[in-house]
């Protein structure tokens, strides 16, 4: 354990230096923000508020928080006009634990509205851009968190992963993205979209940092009855890697990187076993059925009565609510609410919602079988690399069907980590490893080994110096 955190010392020092001058830090972030627009709000910390170096690995590190996770004293817009003016009166448990360990919140990150999307273009605050190619999406829905880390504004950021929303942007931006075991991190303070599927996750520069942040956040929370005490799976080294046989859905670029990575597993010292997951065919449909059903209930509270967007005048409560929701929600959110309302209707519930839950159970069983013969499962994250912001081929429907590789971890409640596996045409390609419940350690071990042999390229934007303007201000 000490070994791993020692690797973080240089990182900590570097960041403490960067942050020690608020003006320099502000300028650094401003220069990147002008390009990527990753953050909704940024505040350079007062040097007096940065904790002294303690034993903890996170002490003094700045981080960004996806804006659907509550940070006391900051806005909680969730990327939505509905909550554009909302200030969080409390902090999420996960955030409180990290600040308690000495890390400092310096920004709230842009996101697809309420976490619904794969591009971060569905935000009332406008899109975030991929630091590798500003004409492209950083992925979503935690695109702001990914872009902030990849561009060097912060060393790590919190995101949320309901169907891949941490792992896919991490893959698009060439960084590491962890989705923990469901229940390992408290959801208190995470604005709910799909309660039984989502987790607070970490996007970070390195697997060591992701591991340290996860260790700082996890554990049972009395405020969240679905959170569990952290009891890690027995610590076994990773020996066997299961690999998905079927790659037909992948683009040529992604398939090439995937096959190359699979081929290198032997050289890395792993045995491989090819597997098939027939239930994957239904995974996206099952996921969207369950997620939208839960979302339709979770977003019902936004009616403008107690907080949020409220029309100045209405003839009746019904009119007030209708107007608030019509004006407050974007089209993607409205579509998902309507879908979710539909699949729970009397007469349709058996055909849609309950069937989706059965498929979910089947996926869980298939993954269990995989882990009888392997320690981790290697799979793609997304069929394509970061697509253009205005790409007509990647419409809402296509984006959803592309979620098949990521949703299975959410449906089964298992941990998964996406890691950079190479570049294709100058764009990062990420892959992911999935492990049994509470076996996050296996994910980090694998990612570290892979990184030690195949160090990933760093985004050019990250280490660029801030441009000094003519006035001499830094």
Partner 1 sequence: MSRYETHIGLEIHIHLSTRTKMFCGCDAKFGDEPNTNVCPVCMGWPGTLPMLSGAAVELGYRTAHALGCTLSRRTVFVRKQYFYPDMPKNYQISQFHDPVGRDGLLGVPMPDGGVKTVRIRECHLEEDAGKMIHAGEITLLDYNRAGYPLLEIVTEPDLRSGAEAEEFLRYFRRLVRHLGVSDGNMEEGSLRCDANVSVAPEGAGLGTKVEIKNLNSSRFVRLALEHERERQTALLSEGGAVLQETRLWNENRDRTEPMRTKESSRDYRYFPEPDLPPFVPSGRFLSMIGGSVPELPAALAERFVREYGLSPDLAGAVTDDRAEAEFFERTVKRAAALSGGTVPPDGALPDGTGREVALWMTGELRKVLGRAGVTLTESRMTSERLAQIVALLREGRINGRIAKRLVSEAVTRDAEPLEVVAREGLELLSTEEALLPYVQRVLASEREVTAAVRSGDTAKAEYLVGRVMAETGGRADPPLVRMLIDRLAAGVPAAKERR
Contacts of residue 120, defined as CB under 8 A and 6 or more positions apart, other chains included, come to 110, 111, 112, 127, 128, 137, 138, 139, 140, 141, 142, 143, 144, 147, 169
Is residue 141 part of the annotated active site? The answer reads yes
What is the DSSP code string of 114-156? GG--SSS-S-TT----BTTBTTB---SSSHHHHHHHHTTS-SE
Q: How many CB atoms lie within 10 A of CB 334?
A: 16
Instruction: Based on the shown chain and the rule CB under 8 A, indicate whether residue 83 belongs to the binding site for partner 1.
Output: yes
Structure tokens given for 344: 């729970």
Least Cβ distance, residue 316 to partner 1 (angstroms) = 9
Give every CB contact of residue 82 below 8 A, 6+ residues apart in sequence.
302, 304, 308, 309, 324, 325, 328, 329
Q: Which of 349, 355, 449, 462 binds partner 1 (CB under 8 A)?
A: 349
Is 66 an annotated catalytic residue? yes
State the Cα angle at 410 between 407 and 416, rounded to 5°.
90
- Return the ∠ at Cα 336 (arms to 289 and 434), rounded to 5°: 50
Residue 354 DSSP one-character state: I
Q: Is position 272 an interface residue for partner 1 (rule: CB under 8 A)?
A: no
Q: Are 240 and 374 in contact (CB under 8 A)?
A: yes
By rule CB under 8 A, what count of residues binds partner 1? 43
Nearest to 378 by CA among 277, 227, 236, 248: 277
Of 251 and 357, the one with the shorter C-beta distance to partner 1 is: 357
Which sign does the torsion angle of CA 10, 11, 17, 18 carry? positive
**Of the candidate residues 65, 78, 244, 286, the single one contacting partner 1 (CB under 8 A):** 78
Looking at the DSSP bridge assignments, the partners of residue 240 are: 271
Q: Does 270 bind partner 1 (CB under 8 A)?
A: no
CB of 301 to partner 1, least distance (A): 4
> Which residues on adjacent β-strands are paired with residue 109?
39, 66
Which of 21, 264, 272, 341 is close enough to bind partner 1 by CB under 8 A?
341
Distance CA 175, CA 130 (A): 12
Q: Which residues pair with 166 in a beta bridge?
A: none
- Nearest distance from C-beta of residue 347 to partner 1, angstroms: 9
Contact region with partner 1 (CB under 8 A), list: 136-144, 186-194, 385-393, 440-448: 186-194
How far, in Å, CA of 28 to CA of 19, rounded?
Answer: 10
Report the residue from 317, 331, 457, 460 that binds partner 1 according to the rule CB under 8 A. Answer: 317
Handedness of CA 142, 144, 149, 155 (dihedral sign): negative
Q: In whole angstroms, how close is the CB of 189 to partner 1 at the nearest point?
A: 5
By CB under 8 A, name the one of 89, 126, 331, 426 that touches partner 1. 89
Question: Smallest gap, in angstroms, from Cβ of residue 389 to partner 1?
Answer: 28
Site for partner 1 in 198-227 (CB under 8 A): 222-226
Q: Does 301 bind partner 1 (CB under 8 A)?
A: yes
Measured from the CB atom, the residue of 142 and 296 that comes closer to partner 1 is 296
Q: CA–CA separation, 257 vs 123, rounded Å?
A: 31
Answer yes or no whether residue 73 interacts with partner 1 by CB under 8 A. no
Between 92 and 178, name the residue whose CB sits nearer to partner 1: 92
CB 352 within 8 A of CB 289: yes
361 binds partner 1 (CB under 8 A): no
**Is residue 129 a contact partner of residue 136, using CB atoms and an 8 Å limit?**
yes
Is 247 a binder of partner 1 (CB under 8 A)? no
Minimal distance, residue 350 CB to partner 1, in Å: 12
Stretch near partner 1 under the rule CB under 8 A, chosen from 87-95, 124-132, 281-289, 366-374: 87-95
Which of 45, 72, 87, 90 binds partner 1 (CB under 8 A)? It is: 90
The answer to whether the Cα torsion of 310, 311, 315, 318 is positive or negative is negative
**Of 78 and 209, which CB lies nearer to partner 1 in the complex structure?**
78
Q: Which stretch binds partner 1 (CB under 8 A): 3-11, 89-97, 414-422, 455-463?
A: 89-97
From 52, 306, 470, 473, residue interacting with partner 1 (rule: CB under 8 A): 306
Q: Which is nearer to partner 1, 292 or 418 (CB)?
A: 292
Question: Rounded distance, CA 122 to CA 111, Å?
Answer: 8
Among 153, 294, 332, 440, binds partner 1 (CB under 8 A): 294
* Candidate list 91, 123, 165, 227, residue with the active-site label: 165
What residues from 145 to 164 belong to the interface with partner 1 (CB under 8 A)?
A: none
Nearer to partner 1, 13 or 305 (CB): 305
Q: Which residues bind partner 1 (CB under 8 A)?
A: 68-70, 76, 78, 83, 86, 88-90, 92, 187-192, 195-196, 222-226, 293-294, 296-297, 300-303, 305-307, 317, 321, 341, 344-346, 349, 353
The catalytic site residues sit at 66, 141, 165
């Amino acid at each position: 354990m000490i070994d791993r955190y020692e690797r973080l010392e240089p990182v900590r020092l570097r960041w403490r230096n960067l942050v020690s001058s608020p003006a320099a830090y502000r300028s650094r972030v401003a220069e990147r923000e002008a390009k990527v627009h990753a953050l909704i709000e940024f505040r350079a910390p007062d040097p007096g508020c940065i904790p002294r170096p303690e034993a903890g690995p996170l002490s003094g590190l700045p981080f960004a928080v996806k804006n659907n996770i509550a940070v006391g004293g900051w806005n909680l817009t969730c990327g939505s006009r509905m909550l554009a003016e909302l200030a969080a009166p409390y902090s999420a448990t996960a955030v409180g634990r990290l600040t308690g360990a000495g890390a400092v919140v310096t920004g709230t990150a842009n996101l697809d509205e309420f976490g619904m999307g794969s591009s971060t273009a569905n935000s009332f605050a406008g899109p975030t851009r991929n630091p590798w190619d500003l004409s492209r999406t950083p992925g979503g829905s935690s695109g702001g968190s990914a872009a902030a880390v990849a561009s060097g504004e912060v060393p790590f950021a919190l995101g949320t992963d309901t169907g891949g929303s941490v792992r896919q942007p991490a893959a698009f931006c060439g960084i590491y993205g962890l989705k923990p075991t469901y229940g390992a991190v408290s959801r208190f303070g995470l604005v709910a979209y799909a309660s039984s599927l989502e987790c607070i996750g970490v996007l970070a520069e390195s697997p060591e940092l992701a591991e340290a942040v996860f260790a700082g956040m996890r554990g049972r929370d009395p405020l969240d009855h679905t959170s569990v005490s952290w009891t890690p799976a027995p610590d076994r080294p990773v020996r066997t890697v299961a690999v998905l046989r079927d790659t037909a859905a992948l683009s040529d670029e992604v398939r090439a990187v995937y096959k190359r990575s699979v081929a290198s597993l032997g050289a890395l010292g792993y045995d491989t076993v090819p597997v098939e997951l027939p239930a994957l065919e239904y995974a996206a449909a099952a996921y969207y059925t369950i997620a939208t059903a839960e979302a339709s209930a979770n977003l019902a509270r936004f009616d403008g009565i107690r907080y949020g967007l409220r029309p100045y005048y209405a003839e009746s409560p019904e009119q007030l609510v209708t107007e608030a929701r019509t004006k407050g929600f974007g089209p993607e959110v409205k579509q998902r609410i309507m879908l979710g309302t539909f699949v729970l209707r009397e007469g349709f519930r058996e055909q849609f919602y309950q069937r989706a839950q059965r498929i979910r159970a089947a996926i869980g069983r298939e993954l269990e079988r995989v882990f009888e013969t392997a320690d981790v499962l290697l799979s793609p994250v997304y069929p394509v690399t970061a697509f253009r912001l205005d790409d007509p081929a990647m419409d809402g429907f296509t984006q959803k069907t592309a979620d098949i590789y990521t949703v299975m971890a959410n449906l089964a409640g298992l941990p998964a980590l996406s890691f950079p596996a190479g570049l294709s045409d100058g764009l990062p390609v990420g892959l992911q490893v999935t492990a049994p419940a509470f076996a996050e350690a296996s994910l980090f071990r694998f990612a570290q080994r892979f990184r030690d042999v195949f160090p990933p390229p760093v985004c050019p934007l990250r280490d660029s110096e801030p441009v000094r303007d003519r006035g001499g201000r830094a």
